Structure 1
Amino acid sequence: MTKSKSIFDPGAGYIVTASHQWSNFNEDVFGLFYQPILGTAAFAMFHALRTQLNEKPAISDRRLQSQLLVQLNAGQQTAEEGIQRLEATGMLRTFTQTDQLGDLFVYELQPTLTPAEFIDDNLLSILLLEAVGEARFKELGEFANRFTLVGHPAALKEITHNFFDAFHVDDQRITRLPTEITTTREKIVSEKKAKGELVNVDFDWPTLVQFLKNQPITEKDLSSNRDLIEVEHQLYGIDEPTMARLITQSTDLTTSKIRPQRLKQIIAGKYRVDAKQPVKEKVSEEKSKTTLSQEEQQLIETCKYYAPVTFLQQLKQQMGGFVTSGERAIIRSLIQEQQLDAGVVNILSWYVIASLKRPTLQANYVNAIANNWMRAGVATAEEALAHIHEFNDKKAQKRTSRHANYYRQRTTTVREKMPAWANEDEQQIKKSTPEQLDRLRQRLARRKKSVGSEGDESK
């Protein structure tokens, strides 16, 4: 989808079409393999679009996207997120144009992959493994092989006949195709499905090769698994030395070849287990934890569970953004160069994006916070959150102190020196007889009248 038309506009029109391979769509595969990684919004969006699929769709036969929101009973942001996820998983292609009737979106539904193709796809299989866990992933692998003969006997010999064994076709008709065939082919829309490519991968491949130099792994085998390795690096922020150890653990000792499926399982298991393992906490951390609210404790658990890049991805999605290559580089620097704990990095991301409402992580600003935390000895997620509280409390105290000083200055009673005649009159009032009081009142009245007349003249 082009950037200029990437926002789901309720006032725009839309039509739904389908790939000419749509007949390969499998409902069971979509529910078992795609639904866990799509989520409810994208899953519902796909079926909502599917109900609008008609034979021989036309540009003029469009509907407003606001009607799609009514059908989904969802907001604009939810709809846009659902479309983006469908596009990312290859279930939807989106086209756009602007004509006399306004903006138009064309949503082209795509068929599902086969279970074997899905598992063989690095990106999709990693997401599925994360979503369903290792046990369920193995079950889905068995589902993919449900019609395959178990324990394929080595004695079986394939005797399958080829096409020309069964059919006899005139050689001249093959080299010179009939007009009916060429005409029909031209009418079928050509679809060149773009393969997802990794961009801006900051993984140091030569360094990895150097680390594995003394291992029985060939560079050719390593290169054949490069996409998988770089995908895992992007998802978890795994550095080159760690990746080398994980690859060694996943290598088949008998064949000296990397087992891709095993590598995925080891990485997913390691990062999930490490995140759930109890961390040795200091006494100060225990004290700070007791003062945290339930939401803050949940935040800390979440920060410990997710890898920094994954956590930031979830955070940016909730805030309506996406993770930039610069932000990935910042996180990588915090972990590798500054040696910050992953939970601390996640708290920092949360503080900048969610608490301070900044749209992106900026290197100078993030590094300044990280340096302050390191000087303060912050080493865990609990300490990071406690440090944020302490910093905010100090700011609040300064703000309160400034406000109090200002208030005191504003409310200080100003005592002016009264004129001598007023004091004299006051003393006379206290000591005078009734007759004297009458004369005093008359004198005050005349003085008041005299002052008033002078004021009138000044005008």
Structure 2
Amino acid sequence: MLQSWREVLPGDHYTVRADGLLHYYDQKIMTQLYQPLVGIESTSLYFTLWQETEHGQSGQAATHHHLMGMMNLSLDRILKARKKLEAVGLLRTLKKKDSDPVFFMYLLVPPLTPNQFFNDGLLNVFLYHQVGSRDYNRLSKRFLEKPLDAENFEDLSAAFDEVFESIPASEFSRDLEGRGRWEDHAHPQKLRFQNHFDFSQLKSYLSDAIISEDALTDKVRGAIEKLACVYQTDPFDMSRAVESASLHTGTVDIEMLRKEVRDYYRLEHGPNEMPALYERTQPAEASEMAGKVPQNEEEQLISWYETNSPYQLLEELGHGSKPAAPDLRLVENLMFDTKLNPGVINVLIDYISKVNDNNLNKSFVEKVAAQWSRENVRTVREAMSVARDEKKKYTQQKQRAGTKEAAGRKKQGRVRSEVVPEWMKEQNRADGKHQTGVTEEEAKKRAKWLEDYLNSI
């Protein structure tokens, strides 16, 4: 369960401001481009907060209990929806210091324009994976304007100085300083990443003969950070892509950089594979140890499972080596097909690795994952409890199977000893001699029969 009371309470007050100009066209962008990424509850929260703004002016303060009633959602689900909006750059949450009662200010950020979204390099990639190539192409055609074909037209537009004349400075008293709201709309909030890309390591891999440090501008760094997040590219592989994208020019072509990283990813994972968007660590609503200090070994293990991603667990199991592509695809499919939380998947992978001799058999993993999904295992502690029960059952079944097999062998041994003919015992006592009254021809027949009999058993 999400312990939302650690961050916000129903009685805490809040107010909403628009951090830029919100336009009715943004509603289409929200529902068709952002909703597939953040979900219906996050989109609903955005629109609900939007209604509480007055053209960018602060509205009346309200409590979160009011918001719970308006959306008919628990505070846990509202907090989860809020964090998703924050993650994609649609909301900024500010908390007033030393305020009693606690006071929040929610700043609604306008969504990216269609051109910005489809050239973002991060959000558009995840949209492609979420909706598929057909719907993605349909959306891009709907939102992206085609360049105007003005080849057969003559430009008759008037020049500025044809219409206006200069105004004396003494007659112009307006304050021109400061950014307007329309300009705010054109400069959306920059996405933040908790795990920053190691640019110092990237520079150590780059060749000075191909690219200089000055070529890593802020725009290029932003693109590298997004690409590294989307495609899980390490500094070494990124350095090869950067050098390829700057070959012969000395400047990094961002479009070429995207192509290089994307091609490398497809080479590793398959020609039709695209990365998926998923919460990399255990979500807050299912975390038990958030903000707590582990008191024993079990709590330390729970904390590790909650704060590390399945990717990091696979690295641990591989003693620091990069996880294999089939294992990564398996984990990604588990997240989308079974909807298990990353912390639960950590326990699942670790458990199966131990009981199955470090072999992550796809069908076995998916079978156990489907069972855990049906049992609605959501937290790490629940997953550990189920894993213990499964291990106990597995051990008992193995013991029973071993007992049955031993009993079967014993029974089979008794049956074979019972059907041995009496004359075979006499044969062993004959010391190689024929019995009295047995002709040589009959002895040959019996020897042939004995050979056939022994072959048959």
* Same-fold call, TM cutoff 0.5: yes
Task: Compare CA radii of gyration and give the structure with the larger one.
Answer: 1
Residues 129-138 or 312-321, more deviating: 312-321
Contact 2:13–2:64 (CA<8 Å) still a contact in 1? yes
CA distance in 2, matches of 1:144, 1:317: 35
Match 2:196 to one of 183, 197, 200: 200
Q: Match for 2:93: what amino acid?
A: T
Match 1:259 to one of 256, 260, 274: 256
| Structure 2: segments with no counterpart, 5+ residues | 291-304, 369-383, 398-457
5 Å-filtered alignment, 1:389-400, equals 395=392
> Deviation digits for residues 241-282 of structure 1, max 9, x if unmatched?
655777799999999954356457657766775798xxxxxx
> 1:157: how far off?
9.4
Match of 1:230 in 2: 225
CA distance in 1, matches of 2:79, 2:312: 27
Residues 329-338 or 251-260, more deviating: 251-260
Match 1:170 to one of 167, 171, 193: 167
Match of 2:415 in 1: none
Match of 1:67 in 2: 66
> 1:117: how far off?
1.7
Match of 2:78 in 1: 79
The structure whose RCO (Cα within 8 Å, separation 6+) is larger is 2
> 1:42: how far off?
0.6
Match of 1:353 in 2: 343
5 Å-filtered alignment, 1:106-185, equals 106-149=105-148, 163-164=160-161, 166-170=163-167, 172-173=169-170, 178=173, 181-182=174-175
> 1:235: how far off?
3.1
CA distance in 2, matches of 1:246, 1:134: 25
Contact 1:343–1:381 (CA<8 Å) still a contact in 2? no
Q: Match for 1:354: what amino acid?
A: V
Alignment pair present for 1:337 and 2:333: no
> 1:138: how far off?
3.2
Q: Match for 2:344: what amino acid?
A: A
RMSD: 5.5
> 1:390: how far off?
9.8
> Deviation digits for residues 128-162 of structure 1, max 9, x if unmatched?
23322334333333334325225x75x99989766
> 1:69: how far off?
1.6
CA distance in 2, matches of 1:383, 1:251: 46
> 1:352: how far off?
8.6
Alignment pair present for 1:43 and 2:20: no
> 1:206: how far off?
3.5
Q: Match for 2:52: what amino acid?
A: Q
Contact 1:14–1:104 (CA<8 Å) still a contact in 2? yes
Contact 1:129–1:268 (CA<8 Å) still a contact in 2? no
5 Å-filtered alignment, 1:436-447, equals none
CA distance in 2, matches of 1:373, 1:245: 39
Q: Match for 1:148: what amino acid?
A: P
5 Å-filtered alignment, 1:403-422, equals none
> 1:228: how far off?
2.8
> 1:114: how far off?
1.7
> 1:195: how far off?
2.8
Q: Match for 2:197: what amino acid?
A: V
Contact 1:19–1:108 (CA<8 Å) still a contact in 2? yes
Identical aligned residues as a percent:
18
> 1:378: how far off?
1.7
Contact 2:11–2:65 (CA<8 Å) still a contact in 1? yes
CA distance in 1, matches of 2:153, 2:319: 53
Alignment pair present for 1:319 and 2:318: no
Q: 1:205 to 1:76 in 2, by over 3 A?
A: same
> 1:343: how far off?
5.5
Contact 2:352–2:360 (CA<8 Å) still a contact in 1? no
Q: 1:351 to 1:231 in 2, by over 3 A?
A: closer
Corresponding residue SS for 2:141: helix
Contact 2:310–2:346 (CA<8 Å) still a contact in 1? no
Alignment pair present for 1:30 and 2:34: no
Contact 1:18–1:109 (CA<8 Å) still a contact in 2? yes
Q: 1:169 to 1:83 in 2, by over 3 A?
A: farther
Contact 2:17–2:58 (CA<8 Å) still a contact in 1? no
5 Å-filtered alignment, 1:215-294, equals 225-239=220-234, 257=253, 258-259=255-256, 262=259, 266=263, 273=270
Q: Which has the higher helix share?
A: 1
CA distance in 1, matches of 2:168, 2:122: 44
Contact 1:126–1:264 (CA<8 Å) still a contact in 2? no
Contact 2:242–2:257 (CA<8 Å) still a contact in 1? no
Q: Match for 1:378: what amino acid?
A: N
Q: 1:394 to 1:231 in 2, by over 3 A?
A: same
Q: 1:384 to 1:185 in 2, by over 3 A?
A: closer
CA distance in 2, matches of 1:261, 1:135: 21
Residues 36-45 or 67-76, more deviating: 67-76
Q: 1:385 to 1:85 in 2, by over 3 A?
A: closer
CA distance in 2, matches of 1:232, 1:197: 13
CA distance in 2, matches of 1:105, 1:44: 19
